[in-house]
Amino acid sequence: MRRLLTFCLLSLAATPALAQGTMAAPTPVSTSWPAILMFCAIVLTTLGITFASARKTGSRSDFYSAGSGITPLQNGLAIAGDFLSAAAFLGISALVYTNGFDGMLYAIGFLTGWPILLFVMSERLRNLGRFTFSDAVSFRFRPGPTRIAAAIGTLVVVALYLVSQMIGAGKIIELLFGIPYFYAVTGVGVLMTIYVAVGGMHATTWVQITKASILLVGGTLMAMLILHRFHFNIGELLDGAAAAHPTGRAILTPGNLFAEPVSAISLGLALVFGTAGLPHILMRFFTVRDAASARKSVFFACCCVAYFCLIIPLLGFGAIAVLMNDPQFFHVDGAGSYDKIKDLIGGANMAAVHLSGALGGPLLLGLISAVAFATILAVVAGLTLAGASAISYDLYGQVFHKGSASEKSEVLVSRLAAVGIGVVAVILACGFENQNVAFMAGLALAAAASCNFPMLLAAIFWKSATTRGIVVGGLIGLISSVGLVVASKTVWVTVFHFQAPLFPYENPTLFTMPLAFALIYIVSFLDRSLAAQEERGRFAAQMVRSEIGELE
């Protein structure tokens, strides 16, 4: 453990040498010592939680699921903390800031996926699995192919989702301290590696609970201050936003972000069904003692997520009304002019952070900056743990060693995997630096909706599904979703700098999720092998287990 921690710290110390002479440190907006002190307090508090939790992390069960000893209320707060990411806090407010009404579709979409988790997934998943959602997927199928496919889906979703969180964290540190973005994301990468490698699920859970609590308090405080400024009249707030925005009252109508219905429908499918396929959320069902506790956990999480998604559009419209006519928040040219969208200091993702300073001065800026950073730390810890568990438990423990790996070696592999995931996350975050964090999270949800969700739904509810169908459908859904994302404007034009995208839409879920389900059905229907017949025969036992759990 000491060697691993030393390696992480040395990696952070070596980062400036790698980038020396290539990046100039930006000048911060202003040196806000309250913001910096609160920021540092969050980091020190979460590190304290991590090292205190390390004493409770001895076995494999402790590392992956906190020994299934988390209460439903605690787990509900942790799930909310795991889900309410930089995409929700920074990204949705930024999308409302730039696009108005259409940005609220993300808030609605993030919320509407939760009934699926509550009524369809939570209890059945808890009854069928131990540590990861691949336990449920492989319950009646051949474990090797299904776990490999599920692990690949997990790692891709984790990588895409991590990018959005790392972008938000890097921008916050860059804004507060005036240090290069590369240094900022590297520091976050080291922190998230320490959380997972040292504390496991215990540390991750309590970091998420702490973050969820202060996020709900901070968001409520900002919403109240915005409403107070506009006399608690939402109509007055919207009128002020329309008057300040370059497009006028057009921001109060649909069509600014999605010019045609295909993109809107595709995004909606990704947000609704992708939520039910996020591996770091599904993993939290195994931290409670039974299926009833899992259901209660999701209920508490739903309440927190619903409340936050209702107030987050207020932050976006408030940012338009308060910030857009104030030059101090923008890069102003020599003539005193600025672009209200493109020239916001730190980018549109920092709209909520700037708004806090405008509403409450340095103290509120410090609180909200700390809240935003805690938000990111909690989510990246959960994502990293999910990715590391897929490598160590699914691939190393269950596939390569067929369940015979020692707990000590499996936990060590998981900790090393956390280091590797941290490195990959930093590299990807540097490549996608200027992308909107909510949009990047939407791409992760597209991959989850096209791979993890079809595999899980077919495995649990469709008697005729087979190993071949699950694997082929899931992997093709994943490959097609990632491939179409690369061929879209987001990557093909913005990152690779080609003139025109190969795929005309930014979100592929409308095409890739039906493709995954269709292939699962076709391949399973055509599979007449003896193994397929045995898998279909095990469905009745699986259904009983998913409903009542394991008999003691």
The string of pLDDT tens digits covering residues 212-256 is 888 898 889 999 999 999 999 999 999 999 999 988 888 888 877
3-state secondary structure 312-360: HHHHHHHHHHHHCCCHHHECCCCCCCCCCCCCECCCHHHHHHHHHHHHH
Highest mean pLDDT among 56-65, 72-81, 336-345 belongs to 72-81
H helices of 66-180, in order, are 72-83, 86, 92-99, 104-112, 114-116, 122-128, 134-137, 143-177
Could you tell me the two tokens for 416?
A: 């090393």
Instruction: Give the pLDDT score at 131.
Output: 87
Residue type, position 302, single letter: C
- Tell me which of 443 and 412 has the higher pLDDT: 412
200-209 per-residue burial string, b: 16 or more CB within 10 A, e: under 16 = bbbbbbbbbb
Q: Work out the average pLDDT over 461-481.
A: 94
Is residue 134 in some structural domain? yes
- Tell me which of 354 and 433 has the higher pLDDT: 354
H/E segment holding residue 434 = none
Instruction: Give the pLDDT score at 8.
Output: 44
Q: Give residue 27's pLDDT band: very low, low, confident or very high (50, 70, 90).
A: very low
Instruction: Give the pLDDT score at 13.
Output: 36
**Domain coverage including residue 173:** 2-44+69-332+344-449
- Tell me which of 495 and 339 has the higher pLDDT: 339
Q: Work out the average pLDDT over 5-14.
A: 39
The DSSP bridge partners found for residue 344 are: 330
Is residue 51 in some structural domain? no
Instruction: Give the pLDDT score at 435.
Output: 66
The CA distance from 167 to 172, in Å, is 9
Q: Any idea of the CA torsion for 24, 29, 34, 36, to the nearest 10 degrees?
A: -20
Other Cβ atoms closer than 10 A to 253: 11
Is residue 178 in some structural domain? yes
Instruction: Give the pLDDT score at 228.
Output: 93
Is residue 89 in some structural domain? yes
- The enclosing domain of 37 has a CATH number of 1.20.1730.10
Is residue 528 in some structural domain? no
Instruction: Give the pLDDT score at 6.
Output: 44
3-state secondary structure 368-430: HHHHHHHHHHHHHHHHHHHHHHHHHHHHHHHHHCCCCCCHHHHHHHHHHHHHHHHHHHHHHHH
pLDDT at 307 over 60: yes
92 in Cβ contact with 111 (< 8 Å): no
Instruction: Give the pLDDT score at 232.
Output: 92
pLDDT at 345 over 50: yes
Q: Give residue 551's pLDDT band: very low, low, confident or very high (50, 70, 90).
A: low
How deeply is 117 buried, as exposed, middle or buried, from its count of CB atoms within 10 A (0-12, 13-18, 19+)?
buried
Give the count of domains, the chain: 1
pLDDT at 482 over 70: yes
Instruction: Give the pLDDT score at 87.
Output: 65
pLDDT at 471 over 90: yes
pLDDT at 169 over 80: no
- Tell me which of 299 and 374 has the higher pLDDT: 299
Q: What percentage of the chain carries pLDDT values higher than 90?
A: 26
Of the listed ranges 24-38, 129-143, 268-282, the least confidently predicted one is 24-38
The CA distance from 77 to 71, in Å, is 10
pLDDT at 50 over 80: no
Instruction: Give the pLDDT score at 17.
Output: 35
Q: Work out the average pLDDT over 415-438.
A: 80
Is residue 479 in some structural domain? no
Is residue 491 in some structural domain? no
Instruction: Give the pLDDT score at 40.
Output: 80
pLDDT at 12 over 50: no
Instruction: Give the pLDDT score at 182.
Output: 84
Q: Give residue 470's pLDDT band: very low, low, confident or very high (50, 70, 90).
A: very high
Instruction: Give the pLDDT score at 452.
Output: 93
pLDDT at 21 over 70: no
pLDDT at 22 over 70: no
- Tell me which of 320 and 507 has the higher pLDDT: 320
Instruction: Give the pLDDT score at 437.
Output: 63
User: If you average pLDDT over every residue of the chain, what do you get?
Assistant: 83
Q: Give residue 159's pLDDT band: very low, low, confident or very high (50, 70, 90).
A: confident
Is residue 17 in some structural domain? yes
The CA distance from 378 to 148, in Å, is 27
